[in-house]
Amino acid sequence: MSGGQDTSKDTSKTSGTTETLADLRREIDAIDEKLVHLLASRLEVVQRVVKVKNRDGLPANIPERVEEVVASARKQAEAEGLPPELAELIWRDMVAWIIDYENRHLTTDKRG
């Protein structure tokens, strides 16, 4: 064993706090669980959006709506103290995935 500090333990404490890495990881895991639940709820709505777009002959990609959603996410992020560029990155990736999803589920003459 080398003389270095063992960083593999989840019980290591940071200076000035009694929180352990394991405690913080549990907290992050709980937040992640909520995020996944919210994403699943969002996808359920997207599935209904596909039905409406099919019915109304709309394409998956509506660029004005994409920009509106991203701008809203940036604004909300800034209000919450989250870097807006992080929110934009996450939302653009999510929206790109959703557009692909919608394209796979729209009838072929309504893809866009």
Mean pLDDT taken over the chain: 89
Please give the backbone phi and psi of residue 61, each rounded to the nearest 5 degrees, phi first.
-95, 115
**The architecture CATH gives domain 34-110:** Up-down Bundle (1.20)
pLDDT > 80? residue 108: no
Vertex 61 angle, CA 65 and 99, to 5°? 105
- For residue 19 the two structure tokens come to 């929180």
Range list of H helices, 1-112: 21-56, 63-80, 84-105
pLDDT digit string (tens) for 72-85?
999 999 999 999 99
- Residue ranges covered by each domain of the chain: 34-110
